[in-house]
Amino acid sequence: MTYLDPKTINKLNTRQIRTFKKSAHNRSLQMLTCYDYQSAQMLNETTLDLILIGDSLGNVVLGYDYTIEVSTETMILFSKAVKKGSPDKFVIADLPFGSYASMELGLANSIKLFQQSGVEALKLEGAYDHEIILIERLTQIGIPVMGHIGLTPQSVHEQGGYFTHGKDEKSKTKLLKEAQALEAAGCFAIVLEFVEESLAKLITEKLTIPTIGIGSGIHTDGQVLVINDLLHLGKKDPPKFCKPIANLYQTKKQLIEDYLK
């Protein structure tokens, strides 16, 4: 067992992440989203393991109702800024909606986003056959891929809203198969979003690569949160599973009010 000491290990690589199981390391892999240069500089100085430029930037930065509106060009712009601010972190960027709808689109957009932003890996949602084939291809050409199953916000309309996945037998079997297919395709880690807790545990036990949960309970190898939720940067309360460590919306508002007096 190799112990990754967060105080001494700075930038992780895919060999280290691929084999990171919470049971062996006695701690969780921690990932936060980030969307701007200055926050990336700050996170670069922390012991955080992984940074994700999530397409959730559509919701929290651009005010869109759905991540569906986010384009590849937008992801490139924000990813470049974050990667510039956090050279010492393993940074992952989301492939946005529609950008991997076919093999040709997926290859072209992945190469563009990976090459122009300088991030270390890409993440994509889903595990349909064409996505599995694309992941195999991307890993073969040197682009590490993080998978993402369960609630996949780019498919919110197709899935029928935001809810916990894996509650019934059919959906449990499907999700377990998807997770195994993603691992076999070459993913170095998988995000489990809103996956029923006991299923998230089972998937975590079955896979050799780490699972990173959000709203999926405590048993995954890692946890990911939207930084805006963790710091309560927005006007609305964060989702229930996130316990904010501050209310920076109120704090900043009060500071501005004090300044204006």
Q: How far is the CB of 2 from ligand KIV (least distance, A)?
A: 26
For 98, the token pair is 């529609």
Active-site residue 193, yes or no? Answer: yes
Cα→Cα distances 10→27, 34, 47, Å? 16, 17, 7
Q: How far is the CB of 256 from ligand KIV (least distance, A)?
A: 27
Three-state SS string over 98-145 comes to CCCCCHHHHHHHHHHHHHHHCCCEEECCCCCHHHHHHHHHHHHCCCCE
Considering beta carbons, is residue 87 or 239 the nearer one to ligand KIV? 239
Opening angle at CA 187, ends 186 and 191, nearest 5: 160
Considering beta carbons, is residue 149 or 181 the nearer one to ligand KIV? 149
Q: How far is the CB of 3 from ligand KIV (least distance, A)?
A: 26
Q: At what angle do helices 169-185 and 129-140 cross, to 10 degrees?
A: 20
Residues 143/116, Cβ–Cβ less than 8 Å? no
- Residues near ligand KIV (CB under 6 A) are 33, 52, 54-56, 94, 148, 191, 193, 214, 224, 226
Q: How far is the CB of 191 from ligand KIV (least distance, A)?
A: 5
Of the chain, the end-to-end C-alpha distance in Å amounts to: 58
**Rounded Cα–Cα distance for residues 143 and 147 (Å):** 13
Considering beta carbons, is residue 8 or 225 the nearer one to ligand KIV? 225
Residue 31, judged by CB atoms within 10 A of its CB (0-12, 13-18, 19+), counts as: buried
**Rounded Cα–Cα distance for residues 47 and 31 (Å):** 10
**C-beta nearest to ligand KIV: residue:** 54
Considering beta carbons, is residue 63 or 170 the nearer one to ligand KIV? 63
Considering beta carbons, is residue 157 or 253 the nearer one to ligand KIV? 157
Point out the catalytic residue in the list 120, 131, 193, 196.
193
Q: How far is the CB of 112 from ligand KIV (least distance, A)?
A: 19
Catalytic residues: 193
